Amino acid sequence: MSESLLSINYQNISNRRIAAYPVTYGVPLPEGKLREATGLGIRLASGEFRPVQTDALETWSDGSLKWLLLDFALPLEANEKGAVDLVQGVAPVESEDFNLRETADAIVVTTKSLAVRLGKTAFSLFDSYVADGREMMADGSDIVVEDLDGKRYYASLSKTLEVRVIARGMQRITVQVSGRHTAEDGAEMLTYRVRYTFRPAAPGVEIAYKFTNLEAPETGVKLASIQLVLPTRLGRTTTKTIRQMNHGEDWYSRQVEIQENVEVLSGLTLHDPAKNHLGFLTPGLVMLRNFSSLRENLADYPYYLRPGDVRTDSGGGLRAVYPYLAVNGDDASLVGWFYDMTSNYPKSLRGDRHLFSFDIWPAFAGEMHVRRGQSKEHELYVSFAGRRRTPEEMEGVYFDHEIVGMGVKGSKARPVALALDPHYVSDCRVLQLHRWLPYDKRRYTVIEAKMVSSEPYQSTISPARGMWDSGDWTTTPPTWCLNNENDVILDHLREYYRQADPSRLVTALQMAYHNAHVDFIAYDPNPLRQGTMPAHCPAHTDGATYPSHMWVEGLFAAYNITGNTDFLDAALSVGENMLRWQHNGANVFYADSRECGWPMLAYLRLHEYTGEQKWLDACEEVFKFYQRRMDHDGMIRYELPHGVGTVVAGYGEFIGWRSLFIYYERTGRQDVKDFLVSCLDAVYLRELAPLIGWACNDLFPAWAAYALTGEDKYIEDNYSFLQFLIDTPGVFPWGGMDLHFYLAELHRRGVLDQFCRQPGRVKGYQL
């Protein structure tokens, strides 16, 4: 009997059957549970076994596996939901239909559907793409960057080319190609990285193209366009198929075949009145550029459905189409799309006779400003067949990977949602979730309504869209951005696990990609800016960096659930930057608890991952600084404002308490415990502190003092203050995430219910 290690819950949110949905998903494991990722398989609800590819991402201190990346294919019926088990005791399965062959000149990947050759001597998007025994590619596939003067830089002219396999198994092969876009005169512009992902049952190839600005100009570079060009062998003339989203007086969708060049674009509305009508919702609409291609008879429409009507144009109107483009040629076909084309506008898909292009930044979008050190990755998909396919068949390839939702924006989503049982994740003791309040919206309705993860920001700012802004939260007009404030990525991932809510995962990963690419300074000659992210900048990397606004825990968590090494590399780089601040910029680093407390927390996570002593040495420096700064009231005080010193006050102690607590747990040192208890004993009663302030309402000091001493008074003395917080209208004040620790202890004691059932019981507090 195969032993089950864990269950993964899934739901096919599309109303269609998917024969083999590709899953890449990182899962946590309890300490000591599994030491080697061998003999594993996926057991379906039917009892059938499916092969799984694994990659160890992180280990516990005893060497057992802590996070394990899984790759497998999941067969799904329409709207199906259920669970699959990761089990031990399964014999490995080899496939002759899915393999990689590497020579000195090329890498060739073969599946049942295709054979792709990627050259090692000169870049081409595809040296060869054979589908159904037929060559699909003509010469000249490339990536072209054009500057504002019309000068062009080609990936194919890169002076050096690095080609390597970064994942190789029976369920997924990923090949990475890196170089520099280069002009004919040898000038260079932007570094590029292309990752090709192949799966045994996939009808095409997933491509992730990333550019990075490593150029010298301090204010960045300005460009006119970036495009991926695919010359094909589809024939001299081709028929394109799109799905018009709105047609006829009933506003129903329809497929349309077009025998001329076609461009599907995402960008701004074509009418300013429509833009003014819906504001930030308007950008990102996916539309057909040439309206006449639809052959619409506008006389058949009432005036309010015709182009020019403000409300109609706000949603794209008759121009609105689905974000894919299908092409049939002479006994061959192609379908391609950008993932999440709406959020990452401007974008363009173009089919012109035998040419197909993915415009990363279309020429119609105007000036593209890439600031120094910025990166941006773009995910797209292309599927060739050596035969003509029906429009429905090609559209089905798209729907197997992304579906279109409802509403003005027609939001896009992957068709399968995954989650783990919250009790299982808590038992794994990862992300501190064993110390968080279990999610029970019926039992703790009042608390859950107030415990809105990191959402105090959402009352004043909005989720952003656009190639540079997607994954951030931005004011309107854009004068201030979230930029991962207080490690909001980590908060969303914790709530994803606590609530088993897949929408939280989508949000967290969008933020993580943004933080590791657009917000991340990959190059700067200033060592205090190199390899980290600035704070609250609408232009993302155009702003100041400082230690209290660099976070790594959310990036580590995103790495562990995706296996994407960009998140890991960014987290490690940020840690090194913090060390430079500590050693070279000590005046700022030790300005207050916020500036050195967040780095201390990051160092502890970096030590947990790497085991390197240097991270604990850095923590020790912060601890000694805190020892010098604590006063007789238990507060860690500073001369404020910075550089003036007219007031002596605490600032950011909330993160100091948290980092010191974990430092004690990591080291077990009695002097750290004694210092922390002496501080907490003086500050654990929150009614003695200001009621409005920097995370002064989180009750973490009360919980931490109890956890260190076992004395119930630290918990019980704050009952009345908790009741006051619950009775006060609105969400918990800033710092509510750390309230989980205190609430979870009350849940364990079985007393938390009484605070939800007696609103208004405490009358003695006023804000």
Phi/psi zone of residue 155: left (φ > 0), alpha (ψ -120 to 50 degrees), beta? Answer: alpha
pLDDT score, position 766: 38
Checking if the pLDDT of 249 tops 60, the result is yes
Phi/psi zone of residue 172: left (φ > 0), alpha (ψ -120 to 50 degrees), beta? Answer: beta
pLDDT score, position 171: 96
Residues 112, 200 contacting (CB under 8 angstroms) = yes
Tens of pLDDT along 184-207? 999 999 999 999 999 999 999 999
pLDDT score, position 693: 42
Stretch 665-690: mean pLDDT: 86
Tens of pLDDT along 479-524? 888 888 889 899 999 999 999 999 999 989 999 999 999 999 999 9
**pLDDT top residue among 639 and 48:** 48
Tens of pLDDT along 255-270? 999 999 999 999 876 5
| CA proximity to 332, closest of 59, 138, 492 | 138
- Structural domain spans, the chain: 4-88, 96-235+350-389, 239-328, 421-450+684-767, 455-522+533-555+565-579, 590-683
Q: Among the listed ranges 170-179, 286-295, 630-639, which one has the minimum average pLDDT value?
A: 630-639
* 671: CB partners within 8 A, 6+ apart: none
Peptide bond into 477 cis (omega under 30): yes
Residues 205, 195 contacting (CB under 8 angstroms) = no
At residue 29 the predicted structure's pLDDT band, cuts being 50, 70 and 90, is: very high
Checking if the pLDDT of 694 tops 60, the result is no
| CA proximity to 283, closest of 40, 542, 476 | 476
**pLDDT top residue among 276 and 380:** 380
User: DSSP labels for 231-258?
Assistant: EBSS-SS-EEEEEEEEETTTTEEEEEEE
pLDDT > 90 in the chain, percent: 74
Distance CA 734, CA 700 (A): 13
* 599: CB partners within 8 A, 6+ apart: 547, 548, 550, 578, 581, 582, 589, 618, 622
At residue 316 the predicted structure's pLDDT band, cuts being 50, 70 and 90, is: confident
What is the chain's Cα-based Rg? Answer: 28
pLDDT score, position 691: 43
Q: Where are the beta strands (DSSP E) in 184-249?
A: 188-198, 205-212, 221-231, 239-247
pLDDT score, position 735: 57
Sign of CA dihedral 141, 147, 148, 150: negative
Q: What would the CATH number be for the domain defined by 4-88?
A: 2.60.40
Quick one: which H or E segment has residue 28? strand 18-28
Checking if the pLDDT of 1 tops 60, the result is no
At residue 282 the predicted structure's pLDDT band, cuts being 50, 70 and 90, is: low
pLDDT score, position 272: 55
3-state secondary structure of 4: strand
Distance CA 56, CA 65 (A): 7
Checking if the pLDDT of 627 tops 50, the result is yes
pLDDT score, position 758: 58
Sign of CA dihedral 193, 199, 205, 206: negative
In what order do the strands lie in the sheet containing 114-119?
A: 99-102, 106-110, 114-119, 128-131, 134-135
592-609 CB burial, b ≥16 within 10 A, e <16: bbbbbbbbbbbbbbbbbb
Residues 204, 20 contacting (CB under 8 angstroms) = no
At residue 250 the predicted structure's pLDDT band, cuts being 50, 70 and 90, is: very high
* 756: CB partners within 8 A, 6+ apart: 443, 444, 445, 446, 447, 726
Distance CA 256, CA 743 (A): 57
Count other Cβ atoms within 10 Å, centred on residue 644.
Answer: 8
Average pLDDT taken over every residue of the chain? 90
Q: Among the listed ranges 324-338, 362-376, 598-612, 681-695, which one has the minimum average pLDDT value?
A: 681-695
Tens of pLDDT along 739-763? 899 999 999 999 999 998 755 444 4
CA 62 vs. chain centroid, Å, equals 30
Strands 239-247 and 252-258: antiparallel
Strands 262-267 and 285-288: antiparallel
Q: Among the listed ranges 205-209, 438-442, 695-699, which one has the minimum average pLDDT value?
A: 695-699
